[in-house]
Structure 1
Amino acid sequence: MNKSELHERYPVYLTQSVVWGDMDAFEHVNNTVYFRYFEDARMEYFTQLQVMEHLKETHVGPILASTRCDFRAPLDFPDDIVIGAWIDQIAEKRFTMHYRVHSLSQQRLVAEGDGLVVFYDYANKKSSAIPQHIVDNIARLQQGFKLE
């Protein structure tokens, strides 16, 4: 899958290079690094939703409740990857964010996973409803995408 196809598939995606320091003794990217890739995509998504501005103003924002990853193929240096993300299963206080990591040199999916994100009132230390403008921003950002 090329970059153009990935752009058509994911409402939020980013491209980055595999870093030599992310390799482990088995000469592939260490499994823990994929969670950083997911975090990079999550933060790009939140940036586009203006979540961090809302957090600064209200002290209500996202917190990761759980996450998982399925490894499909080893990834190694040098390579460039595309990390795609989308949201579904939106409820009053939470949603699921999905991630896919594609190797550009291998032209294949190398990992996929998801995370449960809960909105949290950091001042009062309890879960909180997702603000309507954030839900509206998700719908706007994902409009026209056929999500899996």
Structure 2
Amino acid sequence: MQLTLRAVTGFILLASLTLAAHAQEPEVYIISPAHGETVTSPVTVKFGLKGLGVAPAGIERDGTGHHHLLIDLDKLPAMDKPIPADDQHVHFGGGQTETTVELEPGEHTLQLLVGDHLHRPHDEPVVSEKIAITVSE
């Protein structure tokens, strides 16, 4: 009987922690490079995500999404359509949380946008702050 009570207590604790994690406002951010940093190419970009889980494209699961790296964009893509796939909208449909990108020397901006299983932004878009970096020669 004692083991059963411990198992139930453990389940309740785990469920409470899971609900608390999903109750926080989703946030996506760039771990590195830092805003204003001077780097060399290829540039390793590490992605951070809170309040959502990461799931590959094509896997429909509540509370999840996958990363899209926006490079040198003046404005965000349409929030009511799938995110385009090109050199400025890089998809990570496999659930990747970092990448290495080749960038020409000069100033660049990087931003993350989380998409659902069909590469669409969530109803409440989850977008990082835009950072600026300099790629040295």
Question: Normalization by structure 2: what TM-score?
Answer: 0.32
**Normalised by the size of structure 1, how large is the TM-score?**
0.30
Higher Rg of the two aligned structures = 2
